[in-house]
């Protein structure tokens, strides 16, 4: 059983555009990761920042989109709804960005963190999504 788009939008608190931006950036990241580990292609072995760039660019596009939506909602005089939306979107973007940043640092051996500490932002985000899903009617 698959989730519908309406369920994903309601539970994740993301718009369809944001979901598409995340999927496209993840697809480009996956292709670049596969090319990095291809034995027949000579690439820089320390180029983790270049490989993670599509994910960071997707986060930047989503943040820009969220700011535009926030300003439009403020102009429509829906202060409470706009503050709730920007706080949820900001938390979502912050946690995913922090996870990607920590993972990239860990792969470059610049941090002495365990993987459980690197994945901590995702654990927090999953708990927030679970609470949000339980609050939906």
- Tens-place pLDDT, residues 65-98: 999 999 999 998 888 889 999 999 999 999 999 9
Q: How far apart are CA 62 and CA 85, in angstroms?
A: 13
**117 Cβ contact partners less than 8 Å away, ≥ 6 residues apart:** 102
Over 80: is that where the pLDDT of 14 sits? yes
Scanning the chain, the segments in alpha helix (DSSP H) are: 5-12, 16-36, 48-75, 79-107, 115-118, 120-135
SS3 37: coil
Q: Compute how many other C-beta atoms are within 10 angstroms of the C-beta atom of residue 125.
A: 18
pLDDT of the residue at 46? 58
Domain count, the chain: 1
| Structural domain span for residue 100 | 5-135
pLDDT in tens, 36-76: 888 887 777 658 899 999 999 999 999 999 999 999 999 98
Over 70: is that where the pLDDT of 99 sits? yes
């Amino acid at each position: 059983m698959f989730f519908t788009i309406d369920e994903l939008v309601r539970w994740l608190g993301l718009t369809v555009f944001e979901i598409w931006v995340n999927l496209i950036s993840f697809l480009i990241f996956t292709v670049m990761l596969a090319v990095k580990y291809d034995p027949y292609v000579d690439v820089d072995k320390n180029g983790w920042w270049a490989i993670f760039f599509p994910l960071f660019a997707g986060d930047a596009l989503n943040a820009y989109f969220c700011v535009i939506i926030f300003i439009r909602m403020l102009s429509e005089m829906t202060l409470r709804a706009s503050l709730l939306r920007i706080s949820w979107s900001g938390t979502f973007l912050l946690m995913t960005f922090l996870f990607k940043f920590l993972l990239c640092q860990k792969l470059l051996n610049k941090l002495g963190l365990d993987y459980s500490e690197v994945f901590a932002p995702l654990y927090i985000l999953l708990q927030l999504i679970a609470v949000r899903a339980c609050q939906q009617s």
